[in-house]
Structure 1
Amino acid sequence: MNVLLPVCISLAVLGVVVAALLWVRGRRGRAAQAFGFGVLPVGLYLTGLLELVWDAGVALSRWAGQLVFNPAVWAGVGLIGVAVVLWVVGGLVARRTPARKSVESAPDAPAVGRGPRTKKAPKSTGGATKAGTAGAGVGEFDDIEELLRKRGIE
């Protein structure tokens, strides 16, 4: 890029002039910054990075020109937006949804906070047996009572 070299040299000269003016006014720190900023374009040109940045800018401007006038590109931008929204929403839903498989698959995991609340089984009196307590439905609580006793909860 032969056009870039004169631009870089003129920017370097401008930076050196500004640095000299700042130096004369006693602002030594700002003068050093201006000199560094002035020689930066020449360094970028000599390393080839300026041409790379220039080509990227040209490619970006071409893409932006096609973006404005091409409906297929707008459809692609829309799909990218949908993908980003779905990714964010999916992450939020995954964070709010508990991992049920790991909790439910554990054989002896207590079901804390899961399902409807059940009434506590009536405590058996000293002499009464479980079979002799208040009729039907008490046998359903036997398993629960046994599980609670195993866990030390009464």
Structure 2
Amino acid sequence: MLAETICSAASAAGLGIAAVTAYRKRFLAATRIAAYSLVPIGLVLTGVVQWVTDIAFKPSVWLGFGLLGVAWLLFITTRAVERRSGGTRKERRAAARAARDGAVEPAASAPSLGAGVPAAQQRKREEPKKQAAGASGPGDDFSDIEAILKKHGI
């Protein structure tokens, strides 16, 4: 009842503002204001306001929203734990079986986003970095910077 009264008052105030705007010869703006001011009374007449107030003031509805939030939190938590542990149970079993047999995993079971890089690939990535660092001396790191500074006269 209170919500319907507030919506009716908002519509009446909006129509009053639209009338004043039309009096000032701003018909396009007045029409737009009138359209916006008819929305609250339209919501009241269609029953949307009653439906929203029923939802807002029922404890069982809020309990339902709380349970949905808890379910969402559980889904997110299990996904985070799954990513930290290196994949699903099926992927971990396949990796353990491959390590035990000394074989490579089949291509059909691709690792999940949380799975780490295999040790052989990690070593291959680190070797060029170590070689590049070992080949150049400590003075080579600043030679490029010195050349740029000399080029700009600094």
Identify whether the pair has TM-score above 0.5, normalized to the shorter chain.
no
With the shorter chain as reference, the TM-score category is 0.3 to 0.5
Greater fraction of residues in helix? 2
Larger RCO, structures 1/2 (Cα 8 Å, 6+ apart): 2
Give the TM-score taking structure 1 as reference length.
0.43
